[in-house]
Amino acid sequence: MADVTLGLEGSREEALDTRTFVFRPDGPVGALPGQYLLVKLDVPEDPRRGSRSFTMANSPRAVSVLVTTRMRPASPFKRALAALTPGARIPAKDSFGRFVLPDGDGPVLMLAGGVRVTPFRSMLEDLLRGGGGRRVTHVTSDRTPEAIPFRAELDGWARTAPWLRLERTVTRPLAGGSSWGGRVGRIDAAWLGSLLAEPPSTDVLVVGPPGFVDGMAAATAAAGVPKDRIRAERFLGY
């Protein structure tokens, strides 16, 4: 664990109610892809004293640190984060968490619920920078097409990386007003089974709300993935 200062370079809209903040650290960040930083803001009215954990959404090999989060106006912390202007400097500690890509050369199945796709973006960018080497199936479940983070970016990666396969589903395709020609509904056991060509040798990583994580972990285990190959991270939200 080390102290680092993050300087804000800017932010951008990533998806519906979701922003990515681009920070430049004042020194090297020791995180592994999938790990998170502890960020501190001066928010006196925040019940958690202005402290939050954010997964680094890009490869630690990059010069910047990307933080992508849902923006909730009711949250004093999120309001303070949104009010930051370029040049603002905030303290952080790195790095925490054990939700990282395990060693090996077998296939990988990544299952993400909503904005918690951030650790997978970090892992995928790192694999791209390192030349790939593993077959990855990346599956996301979102409410609407507008809520899918990194959609265009990941599509671009998949076009240039033959080892990367993207699968998406939405549960409310018409709620946002745009057209959707993809899969509709929740990720079910039958679909999961079709994505697992080699269950005994596949590493499964699941991240999202507790109900999503528990359901996906149980379904992949039932499909033949050894339990010691299933890694999960539950996100309670804030």
| pLDDT averages per 10-residue partition of the chain, 238 residues | 93 96 95 96 93 96 96 94 98 95 96 92 96 91 95 97 97 83 93 94 96 96 96 83
Q: Residue 130: which domain range?
A: 108-234
Please check whether residues 73 and 126 belong to one and the same domain.
no
Residue type, position 42, single letter = D
Final residue of a structural domain among 96, 130, 153: 96
Split into its structural domains, the chain has a count of 2
Cα separation, 100 vs 126, in Å, equals 12
Order across the sheet with 108-113: list the strands.
Answer: 183-184, 164-170, 136-142, 108-113, 203-208, 230-234
- pLDDT attached to residue 238: 55
Please report whether residue 102 resides in a domain.
Answer: no
Name 204's bridge partners: 109, 230
Please check whether residues 37 and 64 belong to one and the same domain.
yes
For 83, the token pair is: 């009010």
Final residue of a structural domain among 96, 127, 143: 96
Q: Is 197 left (phi over 0), alpha (psi -120 to 50) or beta?
A: alpha
Helices 151-160 and 118-130: angle between axes, nearest 10 degrees: 30
Please check whether residues 219 and 170 belong to one and the same domain.
yes
CATH number at residue 47: 2.40.30.10
Cα separation, 44 vs 233, in Å, equals 29
- pLDDT attached to residue 123: 97
Residue of 4, 97, 91, 96 whose CA lies nearest to 49: 91
CATH number at residue 179: 3.40.50.80
Please check whether residues 126 and 149 belong to one and the same domain.
yes
For 106, the token pair is: 């077998």
Cα separation, 200 vs 196, in Å, equals 9
Please report whether residue 101 resides in a domain.
Answer: no
- pLDDT attached to residue 83: 97
- pLDDT attached to residue 133: 78
Please check whether residues 176 and 79 belong to one and the same domain.
no
For 147-169, give one letter per residue: b (16+ CB within 10 A) or e.
bbbbbeebeebbeeeebbebbbb
- pLDDT attached to residue 105: 93
- pLDDT attached to residue 237: 66
- pLDDT attached to residue 117: 94
